[in-house]
Amino acid sequence: MTPETAFQYANLLVLPQWILMIVAPQWRMTQILARMLPIPMILAGMYLYWLFNIPSTGNGPALDFQAFSTLAGVQSLFTGQKEAVLAGWIHYLAFDLVAGSYVLRDGQTRGIHHGWLVPCLLLCFMLGPSGLLLYGLIRLALPN
């Protein structure tokens, strides 16, 4: 499978759960997906595959774990490496979906009206941590 094809599959894989969390949050399948996290786990497998299939540039190992210790090192991991960028993207998709699943589960547990959760979920989908931040602020603002 090419990196481009994997990119398309990864993007398509997350969409059903995001849609279900927004429009059918109480449906049994939505609850299973948000609690068991099968889609992020599939993405984790894809992530590991692409992370360890980054071609070497001839200047040392393809994946240099010391590179994670500096911003310039992290930047070098992504320069010109489709596989590295794909692994990074899949990482974002997986953890944004985990954050969104947390927002849905925790909000439901706390009895927060779903209307308050939708903007948080949309932000988690598009801008990951900002949706989690908004949810935290909403939790602070709403009475328990």
Nearest to 83 by CA among 105, 118, 57: 57
pLDDT score of 61 more than 60: no
Mean predicted confidence (pLDDT) in 109-132: 97
65, 84 Cβ separation under 8 angstroms: no
Confidence at residue 80, expressed as pLDDT on a 0 to 100 scale: 67
Q: In sequence order, what DSSP letters do the residues of 9-69 get, joined into one string?
A: HHHHHHHHHHHHHHH-TTSHHHHHHHHH-HHHHHHHHHHHHHHTTPPP-SSS-SS-GGGGG
Confidence at residue 7, expressed as pLDDT on a 0 to 100 scale: 97
pLDDT band for position 45 (50/70/90)? very high
Mean predicted confidence (pLDDT) in 60-71: 69
Confidence at residue 93, expressed as pLDDT on a 0 to 100 scale: 97
The domain segmentation of the chain, as residue ranges, is 3-141
Confidence at residue 130, expressed as pLDDT on a 0 to 100 scale: 97
